[in-house]
């Protein structure tokens, strides 16, 4: 895994909170804590997207039989084609 450095400023209260989370022993350092927060956010965004897709599907009308041809069309659409 390639890593890149990112620098940013935090208000003192937030920095203290991050330091406290690291001192708790759950995280080895501030970077580990921030990576975990980002992973959680990515997972939440994926869940929201899935909910949106499910809602769109439910709102799209009457169900149609999934033929091999239709399955191929949907696969192509899902892959950005």
Which pLDDT score is estimated for 63? 86
Domain of 47 in residue numbering reads as 12-78
Check whether 13 has a pLDDT greater than 70.
yes
Rounded to 10 degrees, what is the CA torsion of 44, 46, 47, 52?
130
Cβ neighbors of 48 (< 8 A, separation 6 or more) are: none
In a domain, 25, yes or no: yes
In a domain, 5, yes or no: no
In a domain, 6, yes or no: no
Which pLDDT score is estimated for 80? 82
In a domain, 1, yes or no: no
In a domain, 3, yes or no: no
In a domain, 55, yes or no: yes
Q: What does the pLDDT look like over 19-61, one tens digit per residue?
A: 999 999 999 999 999 999 999 999 999 999 999 999 999 999 9
The structural domain count of the chain equals: 1
Which pLDDT score is estimated for 64? 83
Rounded to 10 degrees, what is the CA torsion of 34, 36, 37, 42?
130
In a domain, 73, yes or no: yes
CB 10 within 8 A of CB 18: yes
């Amino acid at each position: 895994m390639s890593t890149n450095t990112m620098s940013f400023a935090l208000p003192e209260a937030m920095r203290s909170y991050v330091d406290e989370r690291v001192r708790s022993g759950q995280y080895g350092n501030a970077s580990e804590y921030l990576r975990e927060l980002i992973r959680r956010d990515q997972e939440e965004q994926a869940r929201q997207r899935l909910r949106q897709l499910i809602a769109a599907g439910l709102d799209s009308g009457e169900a149609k039989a999934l033929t091999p041809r239709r399955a191929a069309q949907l696969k192509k659409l899902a892959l950005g084609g």
